[in-house]
Structure 1
Amino acid sequence: MTYTISELIDIDELRSLCELFTRMTGFVTAILDMEGNILIATGWQDICTRFHRATPASAARCRESDVYLAGKLLQGETYTLYACRNGLVDVAVPIVVAGMQVGKLYSGQFLFAPPDTDFFRRQGAEFGFDEASYLEALARVPVVSEERVRLVMEFLCRLAEMIGRMGLASKNARQASLVVENSPVTLFRWKAAAGWPVEFVSENVVQFGYAPEELLSGNVSFASLIHPADLERVVAEVGGNGEDVSDTLSQEYRLVTKSGEVRWVDDRTTVERDGEGRITHYQGIAMDITERRHAADELAMEKERLAVTLRSIGDGVITADMEGRVILLNKVAEELTGWKQEEARGKAFDEVFRIIDERTRQQRSSPVAHVLKNGSGSELAHNTVLVARDGRERLIADSVAPIRDRESRLVGVVLVFRDITEKKRIEQELFNAHRLESIGVLAGGIAHDFNNLLTAILGNISLAKMLVSEGDRMFRNLDEAEKASLRAKGLTQQLLTFSRGGAPVRRTLSLAAIIRESAAFTLSGSGTTCRFILPEDLWPVEADEGQISQVINNLVLNADQAMPGGGEVEISCANVVIDAKSQLPLPAGAHVRIAVSDRGQGIPQEAITRIFDPYFTTKRNGTGLGLATVYSIIRNHDGHIAATSRQGGGSTFTIHLPALVEGEVPVAPEETVVDSGRGTVLVMDDEESIREIAGEMLSYLGYDATVACDGAEAVELYRQARERGQPFSVVLMDLTIPGGMGGREAITRLRQMDESVLAVVSSGYSTDPIMADYRAYGFSGVIIKPYRVAELKSVLDQLLAS
């Protein structure tokens, strides 16, 4: 009768044994039927699977070895060995049942002596293998003796033959053939009686400390081997003699060895019944899985530690399998993507982690696909935006890396990413601040020179107007020229405010009145209305009233222009306390928050980061200084301003200014009318044109004027006047004198000479804090260039009235 190997052998059982055999001995196995079909293959070396059989030229040598060994077996050889041209040894034996060959058992991929590294290095180069990987695979090839190979192959051959023969007899015979000397499992057969007396046990029960005779003698029952803590559970699962008990049982429990050591076993038990269906015996295969259980416990602990770590870190983590499907998301990843792990698991990675280019708005390619294709890690390109499930967008930075097993095989991908939206915003603000600071120095210098020119121009115009009647055509021309000069003054004032020279002249004030007046003035004659949300208990601030008014004017004007068809501007204020955890670049403490909102079309995304840049404008006739000035004013007040906008949804500018929780707004002093024209005023300035126009203004106001070109001359003139008994009523001094003594040093010397000196500091630009806090430096008043006759009169009147 003719048999096939598949009919005689339980392929699955034999495969399990071959896998165990490979793990114990290191020998690879392959069982083929007579048609050459591979039925079982275990433990093949990487050097063959990844290199020799993966390249056509070297694979041809492998086939040559296969053909040679198969031919020898057909010729009746019982043991055939062949040194493959690729440098390894292959071996084959026939599987014979009842005198007939039913299959072939191959092994090999080993060496009889340490490898000739130079040979393999040359061979690797010949076939184009990566040398390092190839030699690494070579290092894992076992070196064995020929005698051991012969014995192992004889053993495997007899094992297969035995299984085949017993398969001809009965199922029980095939099961019994599994009992081999070196089997990693122990076979038991015990009676379904009290204590479960053992009737059969395999020889390798010695691994539990007992000789087979001890168990077969009846002195040691199977139940006595089971750990007391597990015995009740095992008995319950076996279920006595009940008919509802399955014929096959699988359990994991602990056995106690003769020495008292506790070992975990995996017990696969078959139930035997009599003709009436009652259980009479149990037949089990117990495999020691202690190391596996320990490893599983360690793995469980490691997984718990990993879970705790993933929950604790501040970055988002997503892992994906080899098909690019999501396996895991940590809590941060859930928050940033909007996907719960239960919902995301199994979905395509790109569906959960959708990224676009911030500038082009085009979808970016999957970083996971890149890793799966190339096997190497990478980082996302700059300006990558994560689009969450609910549509929210965040700038992110990430790194993606392959996940490899112990054999360095790619098994998945891990992506770690973080939200850098706020970080980028702060970085951009710092960059803008540094850039504005540099440009501000230049702007301040230009404004200084321009203000000196404007002082002469505006002063002369204001004087000329006073000498011409209002109905005269010349008066109208002068009036227009004065208006143009005032517009130029406003422009230089914005430059000054934008530069470091625009230090605010602070005093305690309430913002509510300033906001209402400034907004109303700006919207006068406009189709836009303003809605105010101003609490009565709004904290006061220390600020420059004129500069804060300028901020409100600029923001309300922008809001009005954003709604050309009219609309509503909302201005709201609130008292807020910023804590140390705030992401605002401000010190902790009390602040007043001002928000100016419009309902226009919004600011384009590409422009939002540049709106505070000087000279950047989206308006046809804009100067690009409005928001730059606002930014500079708020910065110089130790505050913060930020803009948010949504296309088609309007814009909001939010300002934070330091507040005085306990401060009180001082009551404005009553104005006192003083007759002008009393005494002599000393004018010190390095610009001749300014000295001349100041002298003419003073003369027009009824004062005598004496001029000096620098501080040293002014001090000497002041000393001489005192000695003559004709002291100056007021000294008007420029703060900055290039190459000479300026107002700061001059006032010190004057006060040493006369503590009651009345001095007015005048400047168009200075980085010095004197302009903001002039009294602390000995001055009695301040006037900012350029100025008109009326402004000069007002300063002198106030000083002389006091």
Structure 2
Amino acid sequence: MKVKTGQPPEINLNPVHISKADGTAIELTSIIDTEAVQSLINDFYRLVHIPMALFDLKGNVLVSAGWQDICTKFHRVNPETCKYCIESDQKLSLNVAPGKYKLYKCRNNIWDVVTPIMVEGQHIGNIFSGQFLFEDEPLDYELFRSQARKYGFNEEEYIKALEKIPRLSREDIDTGMAFFMTFANMISQLSYSNIKLSQSLAERDAVVEALQESEKREKARSNELAAVLDAVPVAVYTTHDPQALKITGNRLSCEWLRIPPGTNLSKSAHEGERPEFFKLFKDGVEIPPEKMPSQLSAAGIEVNDCELDIVSADGRIRHVLGNARPLRDENGNLRGSISAFIDITERKRVEEALRKSEEHLRLLSDNLPDSAVYQYTLDPDGSGCFQYVSAGIERLIGLNSRDILNDPSILYRIIPSQYMGELIEAGVRSAHEPVSYTHLRAHET
């Protein structure tokens, strides 16, 4: 079991006195609105796809989002592996300092991260983010297959669940945990605010003072959230009304367009207020304002995996990919939207370069004199197929490359049977090492 304590930016945890009237400790379930918190983390997970859960000190899951099948359908179902889960949740969350986090691999070999919820030095719960693997660590299939056999899991279904686990970078974890630690502080402060208010209702002056303190804390939390949004490597856009008349962006979104923070980015703004310093395109066609992601989401439509181009006034093009979600008030009425996009310009450039390179290589291979080039893939079960056969095959043996791709057996039928075994062996070996093999001509029958 691997454990690592994170070193995130410092989070200022103000001491809070919180207890029942009889002096006994307050439990987390009695001081948070689980439905409201669940809605918040659902929205957060849909935006960034980082799983999380809120636990009390007894190991009870109060709210969660993004839990993976490998845990809910396997590890948490089997009594022995479930025991490992609860052990990890309870024991490994001990001795984590406020404003810090602990990264560990549980006994079921899945990574988790934990940060505590502290109130006046009292540990009342934990925020877990987990059920992930790092993107730079290879999947140890044999390890998980042995686990499946040991605990009686359906091996293939277990491996499918394994392959669905999020693969996160260490930067993703640092960024996500910065948010979660701020969130833990918010829970602590909000819990204090609610209880303090209920204790002070009998005294008007005390109520006013509590409300003033609450406003200060709310502003501080708002500033913390703004800092988190400015820190994430994602362009985040907030639509402030259902008509999408005002849209603002975080630091990165403004840097993309080289504009001051707070600039209205809405193409739906009133005449004379609409920005002219950028345009949005999809598949080469300019997007009208009512079809833009923020506007669609402000109208109640969820937008997923939206790929588009941001074209600046100076002609610079940025390819982006993202999602957008509606925002609603406490009565369920639409009040705006929030969207998040990542820059995929470099990925698109590499894809285009690769496409051109493949075209160039195929053109060269199709015109090699007295030669043919083919690409053959071999599956783990020993089966395989042709992915590419150059046009030179027709000049060599009289078979059309498209026919071979559709039915490889027509090529095998012209190879003398005494050479077939040797040819297959050479093909298998070539998947692991360079192999020199004498070409067989069609007339050798």
TM-score w.r.t. the length of structure 1 is: 0.26
TM-score w.r.t. the length of structure 2 is: 0.44
Please tell me whether Structure 1 or Structure 2 has the larger radius of gyration of its CA atoms.
1
Structure with more contact order per residue of length (Cα contacts < 8 Å, sep ≥ 6): 2
